[in-house]
Structure 1
Amino acid sequence: MERKTVNGFSRANHVGITVKNLDKAIQFYEALTGVKVSNVDEIGGARMAKVQGLDKTLIKYANLHLDNLNIDILEYVEPAPDRASYKNNQISAMHLCFEVDDMEAALQRLKAIGVEPEGEPIVFQEEDGLKAGFGTAVAYFQDPDGTNLEIIAPQGPFKRKNEA
């Protein structure tokens, strides 16, 4: 099957998550997703630093390939990283949302790897002020470095077009 060339921004390739310790982060994300990283490597040098707006850089990284998105797990060796902390309501805060078919099974997986949701998971109902999407379940949690993560069992307009 021939792949259509995309010149716009209609397809995502990866999300990068900067972590304190690459080995620990690999353990977490492999346990969370059930997927093994495809490679572990290092990248750096003047050209990489320049493209990132840095003076110098050395990055240890791993790639995790999900069905529809790749996750780059990045440990900056140089320059030494600063710790950021974002709540979901802060401007420029981002989160990564994992789509699941069974919310209860996903919550059990979190519990099995020692992760507790930020609050009680919810299922959207009419009183939540939505026009549609009733039955969509969501829960928020964090990785060991404080990255905001979400799980969603989508219904209605929260489902992708090819899944409706």
Structure 2
Amino acid sequence: METANKGGFNRVNHVGITVANLEKSIVFYEALTGTKVSNVDEIGGSRMARVQGLDKTLIKYANLQLNNLNIDILEYVEPVPSKASYKNNQISAMHLCFEVDDMDAALKRLKAIGIEPEGEPIIFEKEDGLKSGFGTVVAYFQDPDGTNLELIAPQGPFKRKGK
């Protein structure tokens, strides 16, 4: 049934991550993903402010293009940003999850760039209350500004079709 695709909500273009320091975050996300940013620019003015529900805005940003998703790294100059802090269990908290084929290699990469997971990775088992997806491995970590990030080596229903 095609009704689920009406309106065009069947693809995601990008996720935006607001950061304290664009240059520092470019270094982090390039090291994490092994991909160089494709564009660094800035945008602002009254039209951009209005579309975001702000009085004024100036944003320095970089675009990082991954195979299936772009990451916009955003540093707000105006208005002066405040720091949000979310735990994964808080309503409206979001996280970005990177799909990996080899969790051990991904964790070594994290450690190589100075990032420690928030806890030991777990492998989904029946005791976790799941009915399927056994063997999926997940780990959580944060970027330098505290953005919630996840690694997943998916199995069963967590694997996307065609993978």
Q: Under TM normalisation by the shorter chain, which class is it?
A: over 0.9
- Equivalenced residue count is 159
**Gaps in structure 1 of 5+ consecutive residues:** none
Alignment of 1:70-109 (within 5 A): 70-109=70-109
CA distance in 2, matches of 1:98, 1:108: 15
Partner SS, residue 162 of structure 1 = coil
Matched residue, 1:161: 161
Change (3 A) 1:6 1:25: farther
CA distance in 1, matches of 2:146, 2:69: 21
**Gaps in structure 2 of 5+ consecutive residues:** none
User: What is the deviation of 1:126?
Assistant: 1.2
Q: TM-score, normalization: structure 2?
A: 0.96
Change (3 A) 1:91 1:16: same
- CA deviations on 1:66-124 (whole Å, 9 max, x unpaired) are 00000000000000000000000000000000000000000000000000001111010
Q: TM-score, normalization: structure 1?
A: 0.95
CA distance in 2, matches of 1:10, 1:154: 21
Partner SS, residue 162 of structure 2 = helix
User: What is the deviation of 1:8?
Assistant: 2.5
- CA deviations on 1:11-53 (whole Å, 9 max, x unpaired) are 1000000000000000000000000000100000000000000
Sequence identity (%): 82
